[in-house]
């Protein structure tokens, strides 16, 4: 019913920048929280940042000061601008969206993107 498609990953040198995008489509009545997680090889999936529909932000270390999350509500899209990238930022990055699909069912469901690889070389 709802699909999240990420783009913008790739290979970058340490100190470089990347901008990830994630567009939600399908049966969408409203989207509340949107966010980004990441999972490095052999590690758990960790929260990076979230943004509410009203623009309220939440960052988790080590994203603070280097990453910026934003969203375009008209496009159902969330972005993650990453600067001063480090090799330890290498991971698969996943976007999420908390979605109400119809006014007839106001349950909020979390959807995940398929992930996009970010590799930072030293």
Q: Which of 90, 113, 110, 96 is nearest to 43 (CA)?
A: 90
Q: Name the band, by pLDDT with cuts 50, 70 and 90, for residue 26.
A: very high
106 contacts 100 by C-beta, under 8 angstroms: yes
Residue 5 β-bridge partners: 23
Q: What angle do CA 14, 115, 89 make, to 5 degrees?
A: 20
Q: 43-91, pLDDT tens digit by residue?
A: 999 999 999 999 999 999 888 899 999 999 999 999 999 999 999 999 9
- 54: CB partners within 8 A, 6+ apart: none
């Amino acid at each position: 019913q709802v699909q999240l498609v990420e783009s913008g990953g790739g290979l970058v040198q340490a100190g470089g920048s990347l901008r990830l995008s994630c567009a939600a489509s399908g049966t969408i009545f409203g989207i509340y929280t949107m966010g980004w997680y990441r999972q490095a090889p052999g590690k758990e999936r960790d929260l990076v940042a979230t943004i509410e529909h009203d623009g309220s932000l939440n960052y988790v270390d080590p994203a603070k000061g280097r990453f910026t999350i934003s969203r375009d509500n008209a496009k159902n899209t969330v972005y993650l601008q990453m600067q001063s990238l480090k090799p330890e930022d290498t991971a698969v990055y996943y976007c999420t969206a908390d979605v109400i699909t119809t006014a007839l069912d106001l349950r909020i469901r979390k959807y995940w993107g398929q992930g996009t690889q970010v590799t930072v070389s030293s």
